[in-house]
Protein backbone atom coordinates (compact mmCIF):
# COMPACT_ATOMS: atom_id res chain seq x y z
CA UNK A 1 0.00 0.00 0.00
CA UNK A 2 1.14 3.48 -0.85
CA UNK A 3 0.07 6.17 1.61
CA UNK A 4 0.44 9.90 1.12
CA UNK A 5 1.31 11.56 4.44
CA UNK A 6 0.52 15.26 4.65
CA UNK A 7 0.37 17.77 7.46
CA UNK A 8 -0.36 21.45 7.91
CA UNK A 9 -2.06 22.07 4.57
CA UNK A 10 -3.28 25.31 6.15
CA UNK A 11 -5.91 26.24 3.56
CA UNK A 12 -3.26 26.39 0.82
CA UNK A 13 -5.05 24.71 -2.09
CA UNK A 14 -2.32 25.46 -4.66
CA UNK A 15 0.25 23.69 -2.49
CA UNK A 16 -2.08 20.75 -1.77
CA UNK A 17 -2.89 20.27 -5.46
CA UNK A 18 0.83 20.30 -6.31
CA UNK A 19 1.44 17.59 -3.71
CA UNK A 20 -1.43 15.44 -4.95
CA UNK A 21 -0.18 15.73 -8.54
CA UNK A 22 3.40 14.97 -7.57
CA UNK A 23 2.44 11.99 -5.40
CA UNK A 24 0.45 10.34 -8.17
CA UNK A 25 -1.61 7.27 -7.39
CA UNK A 26 -1.92 6.48 -3.68
CA UNK A 27 -4.17 4.12 -1.76
CA UNK A 28 -4.93 6.52 1.07
CA UNK A 29 -4.08 9.94 2.42
CA UNK A 30 -3.14 10.36 6.07
CA UNK A 31 -3.58 13.97 7.20
CA UNK A 32 -1.84 14.96 10.44
CA UNK A 33 -4.03 17.98 11.08
CA UNK A 34 -4.25 21.71 10.45
CA UNK A 35 -5.99 21.36 7.11
CA UNK A 36 -7.18 24.93 7.72
CA UNK A 37 -5.81 28.15 9.21
CA UNK A 38 -3.45 30.79 7.77
CA UNK A 39 -4.37 30.31 4.09
CA UNK A 40 -7.19 31.47 1.82
CA UNK A 41 -9.03 28.25 0.86
CA UNK A 42 -10.31 26.38 3.92
CA UNK A 43 -13.45 24.87 2.37
CA UNK A 44 -11.69 23.91 -0.86
CA UNK A 45 -8.87 22.13 0.99
CA UNK A 46 -11.28 20.24 3.22
CA UNK A 47 -13.45 19.21 0.30
CA UNK A 48 -10.42 18.04 -1.69
CA UNK A 49 -9.22 15.94 1.23
CA UNK A 50 -12.67 14.60 2.03
CA UNK A 51 -13.07 13.51 -1.58
CA UNK A 52 -10.11 11.15 -1.21
CA UNK A 53 -9.83 7.93 0.80
CA UNK A 54 -8.23 9.33 3.93
CA UNK A 55 -7.87 9.53 7.65
CA UNK A 56 -7.32 12.74 9.53
CA UNK A 57 -6.63 13.95 13.06
CA UNK A 58 -7.43 17.31 14.63
CA UNK A 59 -4.90 20.16 14.64
CA UNK A 60 -4.97 23.24 16.84
CA UNK A 61 -6.02 25.46 13.93
CA UNK A 62 -8.75 23.00 12.89
CA UNK A 63 -10.33 23.21 16.31
CA UNK A 64 -9.39 26.85 16.87
CA UNK A 65 -11.32 27.81 13.76
CA UNK A 66 -14.52 26.23 15.08
CA UNK A 67 -14.01 27.52 18.65
CA UNK A 68 -13.58 23.97 19.94
CA UNK A 69 -10.42 25.08 21.75
CA UNK A 70 -9.36 28.36 23.35
CA UNK A 71 -7.17 30.35 20.95
CA UNK A 72 -6.09 33.08 23.36
CA UNK A 73 -2.54 31.60 23.29
CA UNK A 74 -2.37 32.01 19.50
CA UNK A 75 -0.52 35.06 18.21
CA UNK A 76 -2.90 37.92 17.24
CA UNK A 77 -2.64 37.25 13.49
CA UNK A 78 -3.32 33.54 13.94
CA UNK A 79 -6.34 34.41 16.10
CA UNK A 80 -7.60 36.78 13.45
CA UNK A 81 -7.23 34.15 10.72
CA UNK A 82 -8.92 31.51 12.89
CA UNK A 83 -11.95 33.75 13.24
CA UNK A 84 -11.90 34.54 9.51
CA UNK A 85 -11.63 30.81 8.72
CA UNK A 86 -14.54 30.00 11.01
CA UNK A 87 -16.70 32.53 9.16
CA UNK A 88 -15.83 30.94 5.81
CA UNK A 89 -16.34 27.29 6.76
CA UNK A 90 -19.53 25.59 5.64
CA UNK A 91 -21.66 23.96 8.33
CA UNK A 92 -20.74 20.56 6.90
CA UNK A 93 -17.02 21.27 7.08
CA UNK A 94 -17.37 22.61 10.62
CA UNK A 95 -19.10 19.37 11.62
CA UNK A 96 -16.35 17.37 9.95
CA UNK A 97 -13.63 19.22 11.91
CA UNK A 98 -15.59 18.88 15.16
CA UNK A 99 -15.76 15.13 14.65
CA UNK A 100 -12.01 14.58 14.22
CA UNK A 101 -10.12 12.56 16.84
CA UNK A 102 -6.91 13.84 18.43
CA UNK A 103 -5.17 10.47 18.12
CA UNK A 104 -5.61 7.65 15.61
CA UNK A 105 -3.75 4.33 15.64
CA UNK A 106 -3.30 2.63 12.28
CA UNK A 107 -1.22 -0.56 12.28
CA UNK A 108 2.32 0.29 13.42
CA UNK A 109 1.58 4.03 13.44
CA UNK A 110 0.17 6.39 16.05
CA UNK A 111 -1.03 9.53 14.29
CA UNK A 112 -1.35 12.92 16.02
CA UNK A 113 -0.92 16.58 15.16
CA UNK A 114 1.54 17.84 17.78
CA UNK A 115 2.82 15.06 20.02
CA UNK A 116 1.51 11.81 21.51
CA UNK A 117 1.63 13.46 24.96
CA UNK A 118 -0.31 16.62 24.07
CA UNK A 119 -1.79 15.86 20.66
CA UNK A 120 -3.01 19.28 19.61
CA UNK A 121 -0.47 21.48 21.39
CA UNK A 122 3.09 20.24 21.90
CA UNK A 123 5.80 21.04 19.34
CA UNK A 124 8.43 18.33 18.93
CA UNK A 125 11.60 20.07 17.80
CA UNK A 126 14.10 19.02 20.50
CA UNK A 127 15.43 15.59 21.42
CA UNK A 128 14.64 15.94 25.15
CA UNK A 129 10.89 16.39 24.69
CA UNK A 130 10.89 13.84 21.86
CA UNK A 131 12.58 11.28 24.11
CA UNK A 132 9.92 11.81 26.79
CA UNK A 133 7.20 11.36 24.19
CA UNK A 134 8.33 7.86 23.22
CA UNK A 135 6.67 6.77 26.49
CA UNK A 136 3.30 8.11 25.34
CA UNK A 137 2.60 5.76 22.42
CA UNK A 138 2.68 1.98 22.07
CA UNK A 139 3.24 1.51 18.36
CA UNK A 140 6.65 1.37 16.68
CA UNK A 141 6.16 4.66 14.90
CA UNK A 142 4.44 7.97 15.57
CA UNK A 143 3.57 10.55 12.92
CA UNK A 144 3.43 14.20 13.96
CA UNK A 145 3.17 17.60 12.28
CA UNK A 146 2.63 21.02 13.89
CA UNK A 147 6.25 22.32 13.77
CA UNK A 148 6.15 22.54 9.95
CA UNK A 149 9.70 21.11 9.81
CA UNK A 150 10.58 17.74 8.27
CA UNK A 151 12.38 15.81 11.00
CA UNK A 152 12.76 12.30 12.41
CA UNK A 153 13.48 11.39 16.03
CA UNK A 154 14.95 7.96 16.60
CA UNK A 155 14.82 6.24 19.98
CA UNK A 156 17.95 4.24 20.73
CA UNK A 157 19.11 2.74 24.04
CA UNK A 158 17.34 5.34 26.15
CA UNK A 159 18.57 8.25 24.07
CA UNK A 160 17.13 10.10 21.13
CA UNK A 161 18.76 11.03 17.81
CA UNK A 162 17.50 13.87 15.64
CA UNK A 163 17.66 13.13 11.91
CA UNK A 164 17.03 15.71 9.20
CA UNK A 165 15.62 14.14 6.04
CA UNK A 166 16.70 15.75 2.77
CA UNK A 167 14.35 15.86 -0.22
CA UNK A 168 14.09 12.52 -1.99
CA UNK A 169 15.77 10.69 0.86
CA UNK A 170 14.40 7.19 1.44
CA UNK A 171 14.20 5.80 4.98
CA UNK A 172 13.89 2.07 5.63
CA UNK A 173 11.62 1.25 8.53
CA UNK A 174 13.23 -1.30 10.83
CA UNK A 175 12.93 -2.17 14.50
CA UNK A 176 13.93 1.30 15.73
CA UNK A 177 11.08 3.37 17.12
CA UNK A 178 10.67 6.66 15.30
CA UNK A 179 8.70 9.90 15.60
CA UNK A 180 8.31 11.16 12.06
CA UNK A 181 7.34 14.65 10.86
CA UNK A 182 6.66 14.98 7.11
CA UNK A 183 7.00 18.80 7.17
CA UNK A 184 4.23 21.15 6.04
CA UNK A 185 2.31 21.24 2.79
CA UNK A 186 0.94 24.74 3.07
CA UNK A 187 3.40 26.75 5.16
CA UNK A 188 6.90 25.21 5.37
CA UNK A 189 9.11 26.78 8.05
CA UNK A 190 12.55 25.32 7.27
CA UNK A 191 13.66 27.96 4.77
CA UNK A 192 12.47 25.96 1.76
CA UNK A 193 9.22 27.35 0.35
CA UNK A 194 8.34 24.15 -1.51
CA UNK A 195 5.53 21.96 -0.17
CA UNK A 196 6.79 19.02 1.91
CA UNK A 197 5.27 15.55 2.19
CA UNK A 198 6.07 11.87 2.63
CA UNK A 199 5.14 8.69 0.81
CA UNK A 200 4.84 5.62 3.05
CA UNK A 201 5.16 2.32 1.19
CA UNK A 202 4.03 -0.46 3.52
CA UNK A 203 5.13 -3.22 1.08
CA UNK A 204 8.71 -1.92 0.90
CA UNK A 205 8.67 -0.54 4.48
CA UNK A 206 10.01 2.78 3.29
CA UNK A 207 9.35 6.47 3.80
CA UNK A 208 10.26 8.82 0.98
CA UNK A 209 10.53 12.55 1.70
CA UNK A 210 9.50 14.86 -1.13
CA UNK A 211 9.53 18.61 -1.84
CA UNK A 212 7.43 20.03 -4.63
CA UNK A 213 7.30 23.59 -5.95
CA UNK A 214 3.87 25.20 -6.24
CA UNK A 215 2.71 28.62 -7.50
CA UNK A 216 3.16 30.55 -4.25
CA UNK A 217 1.90 33.73 -5.93
CA UNK A 218 -1.50 32.11 -6.52
CA UNK A 219 -1.98 31.54 -2.80
CA UNK A 220 -0.57 34.97 -1.98
CA UNK A 221 -2.98 36.67 -4.36
CA UNK A 222 -5.94 34.81 -2.87
CA UNK A 223 -4.78 35.87 0.61
CA UNK A 224 -4.53 39.50 -0.50
CA UNK A 225 -8.04 39.34 -1.93
CA UNK A 226 -9.27 37.97 1.40
CA UNK A 227 -7.50 40.75 3.32
CA UNK A 228 -5.34 38.35 5.33
CA UNK A 229 -2.29 39.75 7.18
CA UNK A 230 0.65 40.81 5.00
CA UNK A 231 3.25 39.04 7.13
CA UNK A 232 1.44 35.72 6.65
CA UNK A 233 1.38 36.36 2.91
CA UNK A 234 5.06 37.22 2.50
CA UNK A 235 6.39 34.38 4.64
CA UNK A 236 5.19 31.77 2.14
CA UNK A 237 7.77 32.87 -0.43
CA UNK A 238 10.59 32.40 2.06
CA UNK A 239 9.53 29.22 3.80
CA UNK A 240 9.44 30.39 7.39
Residues 9, 95, 183, CA angle at the centre, nearest 5°? 15
Interior angle at CA 48, CA 58 and CA 234, nearest 5 = 75
Smaller CB distance to Zn ion: residue 61 or 211? 61
The least CB distance from residue 164 to Zn ion, in Å, is 19
Of 7-15, 136-144, 165-173, 224-232, which part binds Zn ion (CB under 5 A)? 7-15
Per CB under 5 A, 62 contacts Zn ion: no
Does 8 bind Zn ion (CB under 5 A)? Our answer is yes
- Judged by beta carbon, residue 44 or residue 62, the one nearer Zn ion is 62
Q: Are 6 and 148 in contact (CB under 8 A)?
A: no
Decide: residue 22, CB within 10 A, 0-12 exposed, 13-18 middle, 19+ buried.
Answer: middle
Stretch that binds Zn ion, among 29-37, 41-49, 135-143, 149-157 (CB under 5 A): 29-37
- Give least dist CB 172 to Zn ion, A: 28
Instruction: CB nearer to Zn ion: give 154 or 190.
Output: 190
CA distances from 143 to 4, 89, 108 (A): 12, 27, 10
* Max CA distance (Å), the chain: 52
Surface-to-core class of residue 227, CB atoms within 10 Å of its CB (0-12 exposed, 13-18 middle, 19+ buried)? exposed
Shortest separation between residue 140's beta carbon and Zn ion, angstroms: 25
Name residues contacting Zn ion, limited to 96-135 (CB under 5 A): none
Identify which range of 2-10, 41-49, 100-108, 206-214 contacts Zn ion by CB under 5 A: 2-10
Binders of Zn ion in range 40-59 (CB under 5 A): none
Q: Which stretch binds Zn ion (CB under 5 A): 31-39, 155-163, 170-178, 192-200?
A: 31-39
Any contact of residue 34 with Zn ion (CB under 5 A)? Answer: yes
Residues 115 and 122 sit within 8 Å (Cβ to Cβ): yes
Residue 206 burial class via C-beta count within 10 angstroms: exposed 0-12, middle 13-18, buried 19 and up: middle
Compute the least distance from the CB of residue 37 to Zn ion, in Å. Answer: 7
The footprint of Zn ion (CB under 5 A) covers 8, 34
Amino acid sequence: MRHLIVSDIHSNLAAFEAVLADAGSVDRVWSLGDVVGYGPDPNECLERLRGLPHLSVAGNHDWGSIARIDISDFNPEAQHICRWTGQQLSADNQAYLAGLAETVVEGDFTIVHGSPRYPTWEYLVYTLSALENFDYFDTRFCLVGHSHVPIIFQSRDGTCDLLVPTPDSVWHLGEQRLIINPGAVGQPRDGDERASYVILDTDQDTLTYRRVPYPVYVTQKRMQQAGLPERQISRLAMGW
